[in-house]
Structure 1
């Protein structure tokens, strides 16, 4: 199974919300950072800007009930694809 990581926060997903060719976003929302795939992460610059705002506001989970117990922000951020750092 291939894992896809949110370009903003590094949360792992079983499949890409950008489609199999990474060019057709479904505009769903990241359950962690709240980024809309295809909008907030459409360029490396927009991704960095959204991430900076999310972090500055406390890196709160968009859907707090889905936050895993023992969640570690630093470890998740390490999963962000290099192009979007």
Structure 2
């Protein structure tokens, strides 16, 4: 099964909220950083800007009840697609 990673925080998903071709966002929200797909990650610059805000704000999970007990920030950030780092 292929995965897709959030352009802002690197969280992995089993589906692409940007559609199969990567160009049709579903406008959902990342469970971790709270980025709205198609709004906060529509470009490299917007992804980096939102990431900086999220990091500066303490990296709180948008849905804290979904945060894994063994969550590793650095490991997740390393999964950000290279183009969006």
**TM-score range, shorter-chain basis?**
over 0.9
Q: Secondary structure at the match of 2:74?
A: helix
Equivalent residue number for residue 65 of structure 1? 65
Could you state the TM-score of these two structures normalised by the residue count of structure 2?
Answer: 0.99
Instruction: Note the 1:41-52 alignment, pairs <5 A.
Output: 41-52=41-52
Q: Distance in 1 between matches of 2:71 and 2:23?
A: 30
Say if 2:20 is the partner of 1:20.
yes
Give the unaligned 5+ runs of structure 2: none
Over aligned residue pairs, what C-alpha RMSD do you find?
Answer: 0.3
Task: Tell me how far 1:70 sits from its aligned partner.
Answer: 1.0
Could you state the TM-score of these two structures normalised by the residue count of structure 1?
Answer: 0.99
Corresponding pairs, count: 85
Q: Distance in 2 between matches of 1:25 and 1:42?
A: 9
* Structure 1 residue ranges, 4+ long, deviating more than 4 angstroms after superposition: none
